């Protein structure tokens, strides 16, 4: 059995591969054993982190955003933190993951 625990670290961008939030992108804020705490800045703000099993997420960007996390800690307001997280995740979010033709535009 493959262990994903040691690969996922705080500051990485991951995508959910199981559950009702499948294909959603998240920023990893904490890790412990076989669980990760995730945030997307909208449906899962910093005040309401999502706890997920590491088997149900995959790394999208292996670069740890350590400077981003440090800057995030300096912000006092949760609203500002959530806005910065949404901004970071925007390039990783999929519009219509199950139907790529809908991402092309048109009618």
Q: Between helices 78-89 and 66-74, what is the axis angle to 10°?
A: 160
Q: Residue ranges per domain, the chain?
A: 13-92
Model pTM score: 0.79
For residue range 14-67, what is the model confidence (pLDDT) as tens digits? 999 988 999 999 999 999 989 999 999 999 999 999 999 999 999 998 888 889
Task: Choose the weakest-confidence range: 1-5, 73-77, 86-90, 97-101.
Answer: 1-5
Nearest-angstrom CA–CA distance, 55 and 17: 8
For residue range 55-93, what is the model confidence (pLDDT) as tens digits? 999 999 888 888 999 999 898 899 999 999 999 999 988
The first and second tokens of residue 32, run together, are: 């412990």
Residue 77 burial by Cβ neighbours in a 10 Å radius (0-12, 13-18, 19+): exposed
- In 62-107, where do the E strands start and end? none
Q: In the 8-state DSSP scheme, what is residue 79?
A: H
């Amino acid at each position: 059995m493959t262990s994903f625990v040691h690969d996922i670290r705080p500051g990485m961008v991951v995508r959910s591969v199981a559950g009702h939030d499948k294909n959603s992108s998240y920023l990893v804020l904490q890790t412990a054993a076989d669980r990760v705490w995730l945030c997307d800045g909208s449906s899962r703000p910093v005040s309401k982190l999502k706890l997920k099993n590491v088997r149900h997420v995959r790394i999208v960007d292996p670069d740890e955003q350590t400077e981003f996390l440090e800057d995030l800690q300096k912000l006092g307001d949760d609203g500002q933190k959530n806005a910065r997280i949404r901004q970071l995740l925007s390039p990783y979010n999929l519009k219509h993951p199950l139907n790529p033709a809908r991402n092309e535009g048109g009618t």
